[in-house]
Chains A and B, each alone.
Chain A
Amino acid sequence: MLGFIVRRAMQSAVAIIGLLVLVFVLTRLTGDPAALFLPLDSSLEARQEFNRLNGFDRPIYLQFLTYLGDLARFEFGMSLRQNRPAMEVALQAFPHTLQLAVIAISLATFFAVVVGSIAAARPGGLFDRVASLVSLAGASAPDFWVAIVGVMIFAVGLDLLPTSGTGGPLYWIMPIGVLVLRPFGLLVQVVRGTMIGVLSTPYVKTARAKGVSPTVIIFKHGLRNAVLPVITVAGDLAASLVNGAVVVETIFGWPGIGKLMIDAIIQRDFAVVQSTILVTACAIFILNIAIDLAYALLDPRIRRQTT
């Protein structure tokens, strides 16, 4: 098991370096940052001066070598916009996103397992139909639309919640609510599908015929089999949330890494783009290792291959 983790960590390190090279080169092909940082009416000389000052006038491979050298010394560059170390900016933003992602995925998984199990108990029944429709409908609307309508209704119309921002528990409800919708909708389908599959197998039918209570069947046979697919899907969803709940953060003024990343990308704040991607990539790689470990622990067939 330890060997597996070490091997995966080393592979991941190689992959992350590959990612950094890719990001470094590609972002530098997306235009002249001087055009964005300086006033539009500044002279060509001023723009050249800016690029010289920040080292953007050198060939890309030289810039990259410098960057690698800095990385080795754990220096990640300065944010051009914020006049602060880029990694400091990224690390400050990341916990905000992580909190959102963890809470949203936990709530979505919990409720999805409950609702999906009940729905699977009587496929095609009323609860199943309603739960499927509602959960899917919630997952099918563009999230920024849901968020703005939510603000109009709950903050402006009913005056129950604050419009946006961070603060006490009330401030969490709408962002979390919007973030939960999609994972919930998908996970309900996953849980329901797997459970129906399991409950249709001959051995469960036999157990049922023998009079084993439905609760026992659902929890003992159903849930145990649903764990793996749920972990897979929830893991992928969590990864996409860690990579930035951009829309929610943008609308609700949440100072997370997704908002930071989109701003940095649009403003060509290269050091911040690289730092945010480094942080989120590490998180995603760790998450993926954790998922594979969970797999190995839960599924004996895979355990054999990983040890």
Chain B
Amino acid sequence: MSYKRMLPALAAVLSLSSALPVLAQQADGEITIVLPEQPSNLEPCGSILTDVGQVLNQNITETLTVVDPTDGSVDPKLATEWSQTDELTWRFKLRDGVTFQDGMPFNAEAVKFSLDRMTSKAFTCNNLAKFGDDTLTVTPVDDLTVDIISTKPQPIMPTLISVAMIVAPSTSTTEATNAPIGTGPYTLGEYGQERIVLNRSDSYWGQAPAVAKATYVWRGESSLRAAMVQTGEADLTPTIALQDATDPAMDFAYLNSETTSVRIDLDYPPLDDLRVRKALNLAIDWEGLKTLFGEESLRASQMVVPGINGHNDAVAAWTYDPDQATALLEEARAAGVAVDTEINLVGRNGIYPNGAEAMEAMMAMWQEAGFNIKLTMLDVADWTRYLQKPFPEARGPTLVQIQHDNNKGDAAFTIPIFYHSNGSYATLADPALDGEIDAALAAVQDKRTAGFQAIFSKVHDELAADIPMFHMIGFTRVGPRIDWKPSLATNSEIPLAGIAFK
């Protein structure tokens, strides 16, 4: 609309506005979801990213298996059953009678196509990260059976394969797409800079969901998202800030599978001293700090949430004990440890709600206990230099603010990265621990669980290798029209099929 026509319109509307209802009510069967950020793209291969996954996962594209994040169990989706046929091979039976949204049949060839597309490296595929340096080969056995062969043993292949989105064979293999076609209950209706629209698919293999049309919009400000649901402009927002969650009728807290911590750089004194690391853990008023994140958040003793395979309930988190912290620090000083060295606390802007406040508070508490701490808040790209290997040269003793998300049901997505000497976040280099980690990763069932639990216990109690903070909660706001509950998986998916109208 040109501005010349706008002016009189504006004036007219201003004078009338008090008499008019602002917004047309949303039509039956249609909902609007307001996301915190614009989905960067709609490439199914990047669906482990929150912004992409919350639109795509289980809506447009589906996977062979799904993981129930509350207990780590694996459920069937496009695959109905699976078994390990030898050390390197898993055989998956596929669901019969499934078609893609473009009418093509879902079969063994389609699975091979999707996995080959993911592993081809013709374009960047984020989901591949979950497979580490393994290489997968897919061999169709018959129309509805595939063998997935890995180059090294993958005892949790059914869990791993839950990140591989199955896409129609018509999808480009050479470049990323923004027009995904999958087997899910919804098809892509509109993809623009203002909104994304999904429409219910008539040819879905499962039960038809209640929501006929879903519109996604995005607003960066939490208070604005909350306001949109409050005024009825939107029905659902997956995340709002603690301070906006003021209406118990609409706002729900949920464990969001994120765990926060501060990583200790063990390469530099005084942080290479056990007493100093314990003192760091003991000097924080954890109950006080918790007020920044909400009552429902859980004090963490390890980097995975309860329910994940390998979580050790027996490990007790450090408690606030300033006297002992000071005593340990003095003991270390007496033993010749350079406890007065300036320690650089590296935080990241916008890492999680109240993240900067938490760092400021922790800095003050550590200073109170006698540490010489300096806080530096960095932009994401700058912060990742400290997070990932190779670390900056001559960085000196650093503490790094971390948030880690594991909703894939198994500690294998956490332990090697943090504690194995070749893990990308690890500053630990303990050959004995490396051996234990390798053994646990290769093990199955009870032995695997026990192995992971022993590692968490050792890392916490014996090494005090890091400073676990909290298992975080998110808050959602859900409008009065719909019935929906957030879950541990909400960070990675919002299945529209799970939304009902009241």
Contacts and interface: CB of A to CB of B under 8 A. Distances in A.
A-B pairs with lowest CB-CB distance, top 4: A31-B381, A35-B384, A42-B129, A255-B193
A37 interface: yes
A266 B380 contact: yes
B178 interface: yes
B381 A36 contact: yes
Interface stretch (A58-66, A169-177, A189-197, A218-226): A169-177
Contacts, number: 148
B178 A82 contact: yes
A263 B385 CA distance: 20
Given A31-B381, A168-B13, 15 more contacts: A31-B385, A36-B380, A43-B129, A44-B388, A49-B121, A83-B175, A84-B178, A93-B193, A155-B227, A164-B219, A164-B224, A165-B194, A165-B217, A173-B14, A253-B194
Nearest to B349: A266
Contact of B388 (A35, A81, A170): A35
Contacts of B9: 169
Contacts of A83: 41, 43, 175-178
Interface in A71-111: 81-84, 89, 92-93, 99, 102-103, 106-107
B494 to A, nearest CB: 19
Contacts of B379: 31, 266
Nearest to B12: A169
A10 interface: no
A163 interface: yes
Contacts of B223: 148, 151-152
A102 B7 CA distance: 12
B380 A163 contact: no
Interface in B395-427: 413, 417, 424-425
A202 interface: no
Contacts of B417: 41
A159 B387 CA distance: 46
A172 B390 contact: no
A81 B133 contact: no
Interface in A17-71: 30-33, 35-47, 49-50, 53-54
B221 A251 contact: yes
14 contacts: A37-B126, A38-B129, A39-B48, A39-B129, A41-B425, A44-B389, A53-B124, A84-B178, A93-B193, A148-B221, A151-B223, A160-B22, A173-B13, A250-B220
Nearest to B129: A42
Contacts of B43: 83
B231 to A, nearest CB: 6
B220 A43 contact: no
A165 B215 CA distance: 13
A38 B40 contact: no
B199 interface: no
A252 to B, nearest CB: 8
A182 interface: no
Contact of B124 (A37, A40, A152): A37
B115 to A, nearest CB: 17
Contact of B3 (A102, A166, A266): A102
User: SS class of chain A's interface: helix, strand, loop or mixed?
Assistant: helix
A81 B42 CA distance: 10
Given A31-B385, A164-B224, A169 B41 contact: no
A42 B424 CA distance: 8
Contacts of A37: 124, 126
What's the interface size class on B, roughly?
Answer: 35 or more
B227 A163 contact: yes
B212 to A, nearest CB: 21
Interface in A132-163: 148, 151-152, 155-156, 159-163
B132 interface: yes
Nearest to B179: A83
B188 to A, nearest CB: 14
B258 interface: no
Interface in B98-139: 121, 123-124, 126, 128-129, 132-133
A162 B22 contact: yes
Given A148-B221, A165-B233, A170 B22 contact: yes
A92 B10 contact: no
A45 B40 contact: no
Contacts of B220: 250-251
B38 interface: yes
B17 interface: yes
Contacts of A159: 22, 231
B281 to A, nearest CB: 23
Interface string A231-257: 000000000000000000011010100
Scoring A32, A47, A89, A169 by chain B CB atoms within 10 A of each residue's CB, the highest score goes to A169
Contacts of A36: 380-381, 384
Nearest to B9: A169
A75 to B, nearest CB: 15
A32 B41 contact: no
A266 B17 CA distance: 38
A169 B175 CA distance: 40
A291 to B, nearest CB: 19
